[in-house]
Chains A and B, each alone.
Chain A
């Protein structure tokens, strides 16, 4: 431990300090009672006064003081002993009640409870050997992220300053243990307790609603463990600039992600469809993108998110009209039509709802957004309606509103972070596709449709190292060559391919997107697969079993035992000799 006093020391010290007086009281009463009992003259036997020895006196006092009361043991008492028994009973019982009362008082002390929680939490984290992620902030995005990690069997350690949220964490049904602590996550002491320096810690995610706190957490983490990956939520340009100066820190702006997704949904619907299918969004079918009309859009709400949306639309040439009560004309630029009002009937008419392609209701108030939707339906039923959902609690109302597209920024943020944590290559692929022509995405979608069909996607990655793929590494180390197409063959139906596609290969820090079947593999490559669920165990067999691997590469089932290997070798040699002799007659 780097801290001078551990939580255990602190807890032990609190207990000792609290229990000092009750323990002294017990000691005093016990000593007095026992000594007195030993001195009291007992019954007279054969003319001699018997006395209790010290052990019997202690035995008697023990069952009397704890109100067990076995009676006059080991022998009947004399009158003097009975008098002293009355004294022992009252003092002993009172001393015990005092001690037990103090202990109960201590257990109920909030500071003690907090110290105990901290101690148990730190012990749980320390004993955990599985890889885990630290999540600071357990709001909407934090709990969605924890749920996603749980679906991928990835552990998380959670810190939040709100005790209610940590209590709520205790009743969630996660598939893996997720210890949580009510603590200020920006205090380095709690970051260390959460396992910041733990060798199994994979990443730290700062997701609190306060930019200052997030920045502080990121800076602390960078100092305490420079090799740890940090993902930090930030919504202000000033904090973002600070964060970008730190290396190994990834900044996630929920509003930017939201605006980017919104832009993709409108202009790159095929990419939005593929992305939603990858993350497993509800009711998404691959190759069936939402049909979004072209034209000018109305944006209701021009806050931080509105700015991002405006910027994205502006750089990609999508026309935008803005409705917001507080918007300044010079803020939005010259060519943007502005309506300074709340997004009600009149404002929508003024913004030209009749000829707009669609409306984006993106204020930070769910009730406003829902009421805007109602007005739009009334004024122009053909308009495409996109709505921002702020609170996860309002899910049912948004489901009932039947908007064409609902975007929830806590959900989009959680999904983006989950992708960065579980399969960073997927996000790289999406970004790579975003920079290319839509036909590139459409070609990939067609390939995936042919492979996976209507089943949900299963994404997994394989690392070609001795731990993950021993057969492949040995084959490559012995000078063999394996192409991607050969590796993905089905051992049950040679030379047909397994229904899977390799989306990307990561080699020495470089990513190769959509490699073709002739791509030659090397030791250390990380492959990202997308396919049907049962392909993973089949491929696993190829990666681990040298005979299966050799069969899928060459199509020849080689002998396994030494005897048959020797026979095969002899046969081959004889045939070669025979051929040589046939071609070139001996002297």
Chain B
């Protein structure tokens, strides 16, 4: 067992899980989506990216790329939230909420790809 794999696997799978937790629910309903979960997803995703920096293997490069895509989309979703929030504590309107959730769903795809690469690489190396 390799400690680095444990740590990296933890962060990648946690990003995926948090991303699903944020996206789940009706697209336009504000109460179904928690801004704290979105923020945590971004932080965990950034840690996963940081762990992959310096890896010179091919799978490492692909994992870094998918992590960057997910990070870009999640941060975009968070920025849209900030702009759309009127500050009254009610959160963004249904139209803006739909935008935020669809961008976060895009990030979900990148996270699924990263998890598949991680699992596939581990299964193929068979040790």
Residue ranges of A at the interface with B (Cβ–Cβ < 8 Å): 491-494, 544-548, 557, 559-565
Contact = CB atoms under 8 A, between A and B. Distances in A.
Pick from A493, A547, A548 the residue with the most CB of B within 10 Å: A547
B4 interface: yes
A562 B2 contact: no
Q: Chain B's interface: helix, strand, loop or mixed, by majority? A: helix
A548 B56 CA distance: 11
A492 B55 contact: no
17 contacts: A491-B125, A492-B126, A492-B127, A546-B56, A547-B56, A557-B2, A560-B4, A560-B54, A560-B55, A560-B56, A560-B60, A561-B50, A561-B53, A562-B54, A563-B54, A564-B4, A565-B54
A438 to B, nearest CB: 41
Contacts of B127: 491-494
Contact of B125 (A492, A546, A560, A563): A492
Contacts of B3: 564
Given A493-B127, A564-B3, 6 more contacts: A491-B127, A547-B56, A559-B4, A560-B57, A564-B7, A565-B54
Interface in B18-77: 50-58, 60
Nearest to B126: A492
B57 A562 contact: no
B107 to A, nearest CB: 21
Contact of B54 (A491, A493, A557, A561): A561
A191 B78 CA distance: 68
B51 A563 contact: yes
Given A492-B125, A492-B127, A563 B57 contact: no
Contacts of A494: 127
A544 B52 CA distance: 19
A493 B126 CA distance: 9
Contacts of B54: 560-563, 565
A561 B55 contact: yes
A47 to B, nearest CB: 75
Nearest to A545: B57
B124 to A, nearest CB: 9
Contact of A547 (B52, B57, B126): B57
Contacts of A547: 56-57
Contacts of A565: 54
A493 B125 CA distance: 10
Contacts of A564: 3-4, 7, 51
A529 B55 CA distance: 30
Contacts of B55: 560-561
B42 to A, nearest CB: 18
Given A561-B8, A564-B4, A545 B58 contact: yes
The 10 closest A-B pairs by CB, nearest first: A562-B54, A560-B55, A564-B4, A561-B51, A492-B126, A492-B127, A562-B53, A561-B54, A559-B4, A557-B2
Contacts of A561: 4, 8, 50-55, 60
Interface in B54-106: 54-58, 60
Nearest to A566: B54
A541 to B, nearest CB: 8
A576 B58 CA distance: 33
A494 B125 CA distance: 12
Nearest to A560: B55
